[in-house]
Structure 1
Amino acid sequence: MEKLKLTDPFIRHYPAPNKRTEIYDEHTSGLAVRITAKGTKSFVYRYRFNDKVRRFTIGRFPKTSLAEARERAGELERKVSEGIDPMEAKKARKSKPQPKKFEYLANQFKKKHLPTLKESTQKTYTERIDGEMIPAFKGMAVKNISRGVIIELLEDILDRGSPYQSNRVRAILSSMFSFGVQREIAEYNPVKTIKPLGKEEKRDRVLEEDEIKKLWEGFGTIKQPTGSLFRMLLLLGQRLGETRRMKWEHIEDGIWTIPKELTKAKRTHYLPLPPLALEIIESLSNDSPYVFQSPMKDNEPLSSVHSSFNRLQKDLSIDNIRIHDFRRTAATYMAELGTDRTILGKVLNHKGLAGDSQVTARYDRHGYVDEKRTALNRWSHKLQQIIEGTETKITKIG
């Protein structure tokens, strides 16, 4: 068994042998570079488990560097010392079924259940599934679709002035999850404990200044990044689902770009961030792709935050507030500060308010950025006045 102190240049320039060769590293016990007759080079870790010699393939060189291979070999050595066979663990991971996505549940429901319904019902179900549910839950694992996420969708539909639509979506979702439970696609039906929201009148709740100040201070007592997420929702007036999925790569030169596949309006949204928003974002620096990284799951955004908000309301003795009211509050204050209705629609990425037509929809990709920046900066300045308890009288600008 040939042993050398391996180096990257040595491995890179080692010629293809007549037959497969393994050269072991003097630096790291058990680590070897395997070189085939065709010149393919891979790192392997040799270990003994239950009196059997086994070889675990770490990765191919040069995609996997020598330093990475040594680090990985060290991790494998620790597993073996803890009584874990790396090869068996790898097989178990490969055999573990991947979680089913919502699109799979929806497609199975449409394929297997809808044909049992009358034609007109099939049509309305399909329209609501394709128009409301798939855009809201696309890419999400069925097991991760919680009550809070569903309520978020139903409230959003309700706030668009569609109580009947909200109720019908809820009913179809409940039927879909029950179908999923029967076919072992879903573990349980999270919709069962959600009461219909559509009986309520359309909400017009806007936070008063004393409530804003109280809530902002309360957000600082909540475990991060949830508290910062709430502050960002109140400051920017964007939708919860889009904000909690904010990625670092989507922020550049002070502008947050929301890809069209993540927006309810199905169009790319460019939002200039006021200084206060940038301060909040910078305070959340992390190694995750997401700004609002889940504290429970690596490389995933925060999921349901409604329970945290409900506890905060109770602690602060503030009643009848929903997270979506932050969006309406931001919009109301921006309007009172002189923001034109069309610009307000652009800030909120709301098709109805923005007054988009085929002509305006083809406007320059960064159209209205200056106007949106002005509107958000005014509201940010006003918000800071409220928080600090200084002059709060609204004066229209421009």
Structure 2
Amino acid sequence: MVAKVLTMQSVERHKPQPAGRVEIPDAALPGFYLVVQPSGAKSWAVRYRFGGKTRKFTIGPYPLFDLGSARAAAREALQMAARGRDPVLEKKASVEAALAAERDTVRAIAAEYVERHLKPNSKPRYAAEAEALLRNHVIARWGDRRIGEITRKDAIALTDALTDGGMGVGANRVFSAARALFNWALEREVIETTPFLRLKPPLAEASRDRVLSDAEVRFVWLAADRVGYPFGTLVQLLLLTAQRRDEVARITWAEIDANGVWTLSAARTKNSREHLVPLPSPARAILAAVPRIAGRAGFVLTTDGAAPSSNFAKNKVKLDTAMLAIARQEAVDAGRDPDGVELVPWRLHDLRRTASTGMARLRQPIHVTEAVLNHASGAVSGVAAVYNKYAYVDEKLAALEAWAGRVAKIAYPGLAEG
């Protein structure tokens, strides 16, 4: 076929041939041509010499590429070949780079991190919380950027924006979740360094060392009685057993055996170790008195049988209100000004620390108290900790009974310790 200068009109006129594809060369740019398929589809390509061989570079379909843009792309490819660069290899490298950029976005790497590392190696609740922090603050801010492009300045700007927005210590949680993501990417050689290197959490957090006074323990116990089941019961069990909030809140009847030993499976504990809690007699008495609400899970503390006790923040406000009312009424009874009575803020977790401190004051051995808390005791460490699998059930029961007796004496002054 004799080459003619291609025009938009001639491109439109060329029809498909049933016999096969047709190539129509452009006399204005040797090597550049229009391809017409039997189906009628049209596209552009250019042939060139590289490394002693004829190569074909596909530009793209018509009319996505009109004649002018296709001819310009062909000219660029020919010039590239003349400078010793292969347009086909350059295009392939460009496509691979674009795909790599898409794979290496913060959004894509975060999704892989969650599925490959966070979920398999974390408790479900922690994994869900960390994933939400990444989704709401890290991906929302950097999702479409390549993870390797995130700089130290970006990391600082992230935490500054959170603290400026009044997020408080929650900014530290976002910082930790983001740092863990970037450390994981660094370990897998997705990035060469992490922007969080040597950065510290944005806010200093006060150490958690609050221990309730005897007076506060008394008000907690009496207020829990007033609030009633299930939250008041939860509070009293927290104080008597020294276990964690969620462990007690999700207690089931199936976990408690006939001897009053409560078994927390490894899946239910923070350190993933099975934990035996011999319930002291006041705790057993409390459980014997609670209503049994039918439900498949068998939760002890529930309102509908389907879900465990929750709404902790709302119920804690009710408890604090009851505590303050009791304290002020006692002030009135004693002839003092009730308006001068205030409560020092406290958290449910402080009950665990208060119980631990109380057992220590009762001269319970430290390794027994640590066993009650399901801690790896420093008193039993190293090789001894590996081989010492003794559960200390009897010793734990003795410690918890002693502490329960102390609580009873605090809550009801004049009551003889049993």
CA shift for structure 1 position 339: 1.4
SS at structure 2 position matched to 1:298: coil
Shift in alpha-carbon separation, 1:335–1:362, aligned structure 2, 3 A: same
Q: Secondary structure at the match of 2:173?
A: helix
Which of 356, 359, 364 is the equivalent residue of 1:334?
A: 359
Note if 1:228 corresponds to 2:252: no
Q: Show the counterpart of 2:393.
A: 369
Residue in 2 that maps onto 1:316: 323
How many residues are treated as equivalent by the alignment?
Answer: 240
Give the direction of change, closer, same or farther, for the CA distance of 1:230–1:319 in structure 2 (3 Å limit).
same
Report deviation, 1:169.
3.0
What is the alpha-carbon distance in structure 2 between the residues aligned to residue 134 and residue 114 of structure 1? 27
- Give the 5 Å matches for 1:87-166: 115-117=104-106, 129=118, 134-137=123-126
Task: Please give the alpha-carbon distance, in whole angstroms, between the structure 1 residues aligned to 2:177 and 2:321.
Answer: 30
Q: Which amino acid aligns with 2:289?
A: S
1:258 aligns with 2:264: yes
Against the structure 1 CA distance between its residues 356 and 169, is the aligned structure 2 distance closer, same or farther, given a 3 Å change threshold? farther
What is the identity, as a one-letter code, of the residue corresponding to 1:169? Answer: R
Deviation track 1:356-390 (CA, whole Å, cap 9, x = no partner) reads 445434444x6211111111111011111111113
Letter in 2 for 1:294: T
Please list the CA deviations of residues 115-158 of structure 1 after superposition, one character each: whole Å capped at 9, or x if unmatched.
42499999998999459963435799x99xxxxxxxxxxxxxxx
State whether structure 2 residue 218 is matched by structure 1 residue 213.
yes
Answering whether residue 311 of structure 2 is matched by residue 304 of structure 1, we say: yes
What is the aligned partner in structure 2 of residue 110 from structure 1?
Answer: none
Q: Structure 1: which amino acid aligns with 2:410? A: I
Contact 2:360 2:366 (8 Å CA) reproduced? yes
- The 8 Å contact of residues 382 and 392 in structure 1, kept in 2 or not, is answered as no
Aligned equivalents of 2:232, 2:202: Cα separation in 1: 26
> Given the two structures, how large is their TM-score scaled by the length of structure 1?
0.51
1:220 alignment partner, SS class: helix
1 CA distance for matches of 2:119 and 2:175? 15
Which amino acid letter does the alignment assign opposite residue 136 of structure 1? R
Secondary structure at the aligned position of 1:238 is classed as coil
Cα offset, 1:341, TM superposition: 1.6
CA distance in 1, matches of 2:308, 2:277: 20
Contact 1:330/1:379 (<8 A) preserved: yes
Using a 3 Å threshold, how does the CA distance of structure 1 residues 131 and 210 change in structure 2: closer, same or farther? farther
Give the Cα separation in 1 of the matches to 2:230 and 2:407.
20
SS across alignment from 1:221 = helix
Note the 1:20-99 alignment, pairs <5 A. none
What is the aligned counterpart of 2:413 among 382, 385, 389? 389
1:271 alignment partner in structure 2:
277
- Give the corresponding residue for 1:193: none
Corresponding residue of 1:80: none
**Are residue 169 (structure 1) and residue 194 (structure 2) matched?**
no
- Does the CA contact (< 8 Å) of 2:299 and 2:307 recur in 1? no
TM-superposed CA distance for 1:303, in Å, is 2.3
Offset of residue 305 of structure 1: 1.6
* Structure 2: tracts of 5 or more residues without a match: 1-101, 133-167, 180-200, 325-342
* Aligned counterparts of 2:346 and 2:234: Cα–Cα separation in 1: 16
Return the offset for 1:269. 0.1
Q: Which structure: larger Rg?
A: 2
Computed over aligned residues only, the root mean square deviation of the Cα atoms, in angstroms, reads 4.2
Distance 1:293 1:377, change over 3 A: closer
Identify the residue that residue 254 of structure 2 maps to in structure 1.
Answer: 249
Q: Is the 8 A contact 2:242 2:352 kept in 1?
A: yes
For residues 338-366 of structure 1, give each alpha carbon's deviation from its aligned partner in whole angstroms, at most 9, with x where no partner exists: 112211111000125564445434444x6
Identity of aligned residues (%): 26
Between the aligned partners of 2:286 and 2:299, the Cα distance in structure 1 is 10
State the AA in 2 paired with 1:375.
A
For structure 1, the residue ranges without an aligned partner over 5 or more in a row are 1-112, 144-163, 176-195, 394-398
Alpha-carbon distance in structure 1 between the residues aligned to 2:280 and 2:372: 12
How many angstroms apart in 1 are the aligned matches of 2:171 and 2:366?
30
Flag the 1:352–1:197 CA change in 2: closer, same or farther, 3 A.
farther
Give the whole-Å Cα distance in 2 for the aligned partners of 1:392 and 1:173. 51
Give TM-score, length-normalised by structure 2.
0.49
